[in-house]
Amino acid sequence: MDCKEIIGLISRYIDGDIDEFMRDVFEKHIRECKRCITLLRTLEKTIYFSREINRPKRVPSKVIHRVYYQIELRMKSGDLKKKSRKSHFTLP
Ligand SMILES: [Zn+2]
């Protein structure tokens, strides 16, 4: 599964709306791909904060692609690398 497929599944993954096999494949990719784990964590935070203000929990694909684009830009500029060195991610 490549990053594009992950982006397509990410909202359903967060909702728990994918089968066990796809979830395993998804999580395997996430474990190995810094960009996708960053996207997932960013979206989880976005959903958390949007729930706080009572908005629908599904993230529009436009937003997903915008966030992913920003992550790509920051990775290219080295900005994300510097910041993420200190933080660590835990998988579900
Ligand atoms: Zn990826």
pLDDT digits (tens, 9 = 90+) for 21-53: 999 999 999 999 999 999 999 998 888 887 777
Taking a C-beta distance cutoff of 8 angstroms, is the pair 34, 41 a contact? no
- What is the extent of the structural domain holding 20? 3-84
First-residue to last-residue Cα distance in the chain: 19
Asked, for residue 46, whether it belongs to a domain, the answer is yes
Domain count, the chain: 1
Task: Using a pLDDT cut of 90, give the percent of the chain over it.
Answer: 43
Q: How far is the CA of 9 from the centre of ligand 1 (A)?
A: 11
Within a domain: residue 41?
yes
- Cβ < 5 A residues, ion ligand 1: 3, 33, 36
pTM of this structure? 0.59
Confidence (pLDDT) at 83: 53
If you measure from the C-alpha of residue 70 to the centroid of ligand 1, how many angstroms do you get, rounded to a whole number?
Answer: 14
Sequence-ordered alpha helix ranges (H) in 1-92 = 3-15, 20-32, 34-52, 61-77, 79-84
70 falls within a domain:
yes
Token couple for 69? 């684009």
